[in-house]
Chains A and B, each alone.
Chain A
Amino acid sequence: MAILEISELTHFFGGLRAVYDLNMTLEGGELMGLIGPNGAGKTTVFNLVSGFYRPSEGDVKFCGKSIAGLRPHQVTALGIARTFQNIRLWNSLSVFDNLCVSQHHQLGYGFLKSVLRTRSFHSSERKVRKTAEEIIDLLGIRHYALELPKNLPYGLQRRVEIGRALCLRPKLLMLDEPAAGMNPGEVDQLIKLIRWIRDEFKLTIWLIEHHMRVVMNVCDRMKVIEFGEEIAEGTPSEIQQNRRVIQAYLGEEEPVHAHGM
């Protein structure tokens, strides 16, 4: 079943056309890639889906229901989690608290109960903590659980950010350039991690990435956009052969795999 359907999605920033007439469908359990040169509008697509921008035109359907116009926390509550191109962890909360706070929508209590500390308060905090600890153990970051994120090395921060998204128990996980700024060793680990997450959590992953090694290794299918418009879609090997993609990406006749290997 299609988990995400995007139809005729268009977005303008003032006069700038960042996304134009984008159509795509993500099937449940799929690992989909979104690539394109810098400034192609990839992050904007993610922002439109997560509700940070309201689309100028078009619609986004998640599990058959339109989510265009919802506020971001509402979209998240439906089961879409994401990471950011530039890491956006909460730096004065510990790693553990980062993972707890991202389950805000599942707390099920409000101000009054947080003060009165009723039984339901305790049980729901316990549940949230348990989820956070599970994810911490699954990602092997227990050792850093009480550290502040800003004190961790870059690769670990990325891992924590993915963990924070997983705490939301999403159906769809969107990763915005997770390999950016990583060294080769960290990239290897990331590739393993992404595959493992998909199998372990049985979720759909949508990935923006520049690192061709990551994209080619993990994606089942990918879409390429340039200037906000689709220029190709297919399996990694199909995309690798696509002349338009090669031109868009490199501006010259050179195979895609030569880049970022």
Chain B
Amino acid sequence: MFLESFLQNLLNALQWGSFYALIALGYTMVYGVLLLINFAHGDIFMVGAYIGFFIATLLLGQYAGSSPSLSPVLVFAITVVVTMVLTSGVGVAIERIAYRPLRRKGASRLYVVITALMCGLILENGNLALLGASRRNFPEMLSKTAYNIGGINFTNVKIMVIMTTIAVFILLETIVRKTRLGMAMRAISYDRMAVPLMGIPVDTVIVFTFILGSSMAALAGVLFATAYPVLEPYMGALVGWKAFIAAVLGGIGEIRGAFVGGFLLGFIEIFVAALFPSTLRDLIAFSILLVFLSIKPTGIFGVSRATKI
């Protein structure tokens, strides 16, 4: 009985942590390259979910029934890919329009952070203004099937979310270790002067980082909407802040940190909710974070740079 409920919660935590992990990636990669906390990133996740909504509706509306060649799985795959591409566009646009000019002017890092906060507000409220406050239901592309093995309930969607996240982790680690751009990304976070020496323009690396980060947020958006099919303009705000916390918990600037931090936060939240009244969830989760960061300020994988004097 105890083991069952433990495993059940573990599975839920893995799914919940997956969303945090995928979003935390964007925070962590941008931070590694620019030392910028991109506070608009949670809203990029929201934008991803909405773009996914429109594409899926479009595909289903047009072809439902009439074109048997588009199986639900295919619709889902197209939705995911197109959403990732379009959302990357949004992420890169924000970098080009808002962040880059400020950087060029040599503004203090914190002014860029404030600009990021403002961009987030524009995305949230622009959405609210354009689409109205009504919630939207994300169309069901994959029919949910529930399984029960040994008393543990799960759906195909849950499994897909977890598997996708693990695949993304492997993919990104490979990109960062094996491709030239990926290595340049890592090089920048170690030494800002090194990358021009490698013959890669810094701006290219930055744009690449935003593409990776935004497309992962878009992926998280579509997956989230598939699992919890209700969309609203502020859906990215709280999840975004928490994903950011997950990134820091893991050690910001580290890809594996984003995953471990994301899953860890997922575990803390789910298990706190399972053991205590659910209203205490945030309180306990954030208290754990506070204590943890007070003891190990740089997160799990972060290393404190020695200050030489």
- In chain B, what residue has the closest Cβ to A14? B306
Question: In the assembly, what is the distance between CA of A40 and CA of B239, in Å?
Answer: 50
Q: Does A43 contact B (CB under 8 A)?
A: yes
Query: 1/0 contact trace for B271-309 toward A, CB 8 Å?
Result: 000000000000000000000000000000000001001
Q: Which residues of chain A are near B309, meaning CB under 8 Å?
A: 43, 47, 52, 84-86, 88
Q: Which residues of chain B are near A86, meaning CB under 8 Å?
A: 309
B189 CB to nearest chain A CB (Å):
22
Q: Which residues of chain B are near A88, meaning CB under 8 Å?
A: 309
Q: Which residues of chain B are near A52, meaning CB under 8 Å?
A: 309
Interface SS majority for chain B: loop
Q: Number of A residues contacting the other chain (C-beta, 8 Å)?
A: 8
Please report which residues of chain A, range 75-93, place their CB below 8 angstroms from some CB of chain B when the two chains form the complex: 84-86, 88
- In chain A, what residue has the closest Cβ to B307? A52
Question: In the assembly, what is the distance between CA of A47 and CA of B306, in Å?
Answer: 14
Q: Which residues of chain A are near B306, meaning CB under 8 Å?
A: 13
B303 CB to nearest chain A CB (Å):
11
Question: In the assembly, what is the distance between CA of A47 and CA of B307, in Å?
Answer: 12
Question: In the assembly, what is the distance between CA of A86 and CA of B306, in Å?
Answer: 15
- In chain B, what residue has the closest Cβ to A86? B309
Query: 1/0 contact trace for B32-45 toward A, CB 8 Å?
Result: 00000000000000
B285 CB to nearest chain A CB (Å):
33
B21 CB to nearest chain A CB (Å):
31
A87 CB to nearest chain B CB (Å):
11
- In chain A, what residue has the closest Cβ to B306? A13
Please report which residues of chain A, range 49-104, place their CB below 8 angstroms from some CB of chain B when the two chains form the complex: 52, 84-86, 88
Please report which residues of chain B, range 205-257, place their CB below 8 angstroms from some CB of chain A when the two chains form the complex: none
- In chain A, what residue has the closest Cβ to B308? A43
Query: 1/0 contact trace for A13-41 toward B, CB 8 Å?
Result: 10000000000000000000000000000
Question: In the assembly, what is the distance between CA of A169 and CA of B280, in Å?
Answer: 55
- In chain B, what residue has the closest Cβ to A53? B309
Query: 1/0 contact trace for B119-132 toward A, CB 8 Å?
Result: 00000000000000
Q: Which residues of chain B are near A84, meaning CB under 8 Å?
A: 309
Question: In the assembly, what is the distance between CA of A86 and CA of B309, in Å?
Answer: 7
Question: In the assembly, what is the distance between CA of A47 and CA of B309, in Å?
Answer: 8
Q: Which residues of chain B are near A47, meaning CB under 8 Å?
A: 309
Question: In the assembly, what is the distance between CA of A84 and CA of B309, in Å?
Answer: 7
Question: In the assembly, what is the distance between CA of A29 and CA of B61, in Å?
Answer: 91
Query: 1/0 contact trace for B138-178 toward A, CB 8 Å?
Result: 00000000000000000000000000000000000000000
B88 CB to nearest chain A CB (Å):
39
Question: In the assembly, what is the distance between CA of A85 and CA of B309, in Å?
Answer: 7
A73 CB to nearest chain B CB (Å):
15
- In chain B, what residue has the closest Cβ to A176? B309
A49 CB to nearest chain B CB (Å):
13
B6 CB to nearest chain A CB (Å):
39
A177 CB to nearest chain B CB (Å):
12
Q: List 8 A-B contacts (CB under 8 A).
A: A13-B306, A43-B309, A47-B309, A52-B309, A84-B309, A85-B309, A86-B309, A88-B309
- Chain B residues packing against A (C-beta within 8 Å): 306, 309
Known contacts A47-B309, A52-B309, then 6 further A-B pairs from the complex at CB < 8 Å, ordered by chain A residue:
A13-B306, A43-B309, A84-B309, A85-B309, A86-B309, A88-B309
Going nearest first, the 8 A-B pairs with the smallest beta carbon separation are A84-B309, A47-B309, A52-B309, A43-B309, A85-B309, A88-B309, A13-B306, A86-B309
